[in-house]
């Protein structure tokens, strides 16, 4: 569907509309880039957290039988028991829900909506710019 460019009766009106459309296009393009960057960072953080949890869980699995097999009170037992305790705490920390201020499922959903809005807006703005530019060429100065 074409935009109602016939409403613009002078090149000056076209220039004003083009200035506004180009500014809005820059804003949407920048917003698109920011959303992509946030999504990339969020995915990286989630992957890093999952890897850290897997590593800590493996450490607990490895240390548990070792600590159980050592005589209580020995230097080695105390050392490995301390490592086991730290690994268990790390597993607990990484297993907790996201801290306040971090992205919730609702935040992720709304960000996905933003991404789709931007994905639709940019081509529409580009089309409007093209149509106004073509219309401007038909008008006298």
How does the average pLDDT of the chain come out, rounded? 87
Question: Which two tokens mark 41?
Answer: 């960072």
pLDDT tens-place string over residues 72-82: 989 999 999 99
> What whole-number distance in Å separates Cα of residue 122 and Cα of residue 26?
9
The answer to whether 65 and 77 have CB atoms below 8 angstroms apart is no
Band of the pLDDT at 117, cuts 50, 70, 90?
confident
Q: What is the mean pLDDT of residues 110-137?
A: 88
> What whole-number distance in Å separates Cα of residue 74 and Cα of residue 62?
19
Instruction: For residue 42, give every residue at least 6 positions away whose Cβ sits within 8 Å of its Cβ, in sequence order, or none.
Output: 103, 108
> What whole-number distance in Å separates Cα of residue 118 and Cα of residue 121?
5
Tell me the CB-side half-sphere exposure of residue 59, using CA atoms within 13 A. Answer: 19
Residue with tokens 């609702």: 106
DSSP 8-state class, residue 79: H
pLDDT tens-place string over residues 51-106: 889 999 999 999 999 999 999 989 999 999 999 999 999 998 888 875 555 666 77
Helices (H), 1-141: 11-68, 75-95, 105-137
Question: Which two tokens mark 102?
Answer: 């971090």
């Amino acid at each position: 569907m074409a935009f109602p460019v016939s409403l613009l009766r002078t090149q000056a009106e076209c220039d004003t509309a083009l200035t506004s459309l180009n500014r809005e296009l820059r804003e949407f393009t920048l917003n698109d880039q920011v959303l992509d960057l946030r999504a990339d960072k969020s995915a990286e953080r989630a992957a890093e957290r999952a890897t850290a949890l897997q590593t800590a869980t493996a450490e607990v699995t490895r240390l548990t039988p070792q600590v159980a097999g050592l005589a209580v009170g020995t230097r080695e037992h105390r050392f490995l028991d301390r490592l086991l305790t730290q690994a268990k705490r790390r597993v607990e920390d990484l297993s907790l829900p996201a801290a306040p201020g971090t992205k919730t499922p609702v935040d992720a959903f709304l960000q996905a909506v933003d991404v789709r809005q931007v994905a639709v807006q940019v081509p529409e703005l580009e089309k409007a710019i093209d149509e106004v530019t073509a219309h401007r060429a038909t008008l006298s100065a």
